[in-house]
Amino acid sequence: MTDIIQFRLNDKSVRLEVDGERMLLWVLRTDLGLTGTKYGCGEGYCGSCTVLVNGEPTPSCGYPVKNVAGKSVVTIEGLAKDGRLHPVQDAFIKHEAMQCGFCTSGMIVEAVGFLQKNPRPSRADILKGMEDHLCRCGTHNRVVRAIEEAASGMKGAVPK
């Protein structure tokens, strides 16, 4: 049951010959060697595996790879452009919004997708937007701060 699937991955075109029913998470991590996207639960409960599909944050553990055909996928590895980190990455580093770091990729990717849709989120918007992401180390407070700062930075506004 091999399918041929073409899509854009981190701004490059990719052609895959895989079983299209396999989940994107495993194809990314194994076939494509992009291990920044993590497995935390496999059933959509933790957000560790989040990637952007056409800009939309998507848990890749439950997303069959055939569904990415013709679409654009961005993973944590694809956020930096021309050697410059994405402002959300910068903000996570600045606010130390991580401990063990296992949830961090998924959080950053979600925040990037979320800010694209809602560039001026309130604190309540951020909490709601990040609700499906679990962090056992308890970095929530820093993550919220980082997203607040990234939001104000990306708009060029002065942080309040």
- The binding site for other proteins (CB under 8 A) comprises 22-23, 25-26, 29-31, 33-43, 45-46, 48, 75-77, 79-80, 85, 89, 92-93, 96, 98-105, 108, 126-128, 130-131, 133-144
Residue 119 binds ligand FES (CB under 6 A) = no
Residue 135 binds ligand FES (CB under 6 A) = yes
Contact between 86 and 80 (Cβ < 8 Å): yes
Distance between CA atoms of residues 84 and 88, nearest Å = 11
Q: How far is the CB of 159 from other proteins (least distance, A)?
A: 18
Sole window of 1-9, 28-36, 42-50, 75-83 interacting with ligand FES (rule: CB under 6 A): 42-50
Pick one of 46, 52, 73, 88: the residue that binds ligand FES (CB under 6 A).
Answer: 46
Partner from ligand FES, other proteins, none binding residue 49, C-beta < 5-8 Å depending on class? ligand FES
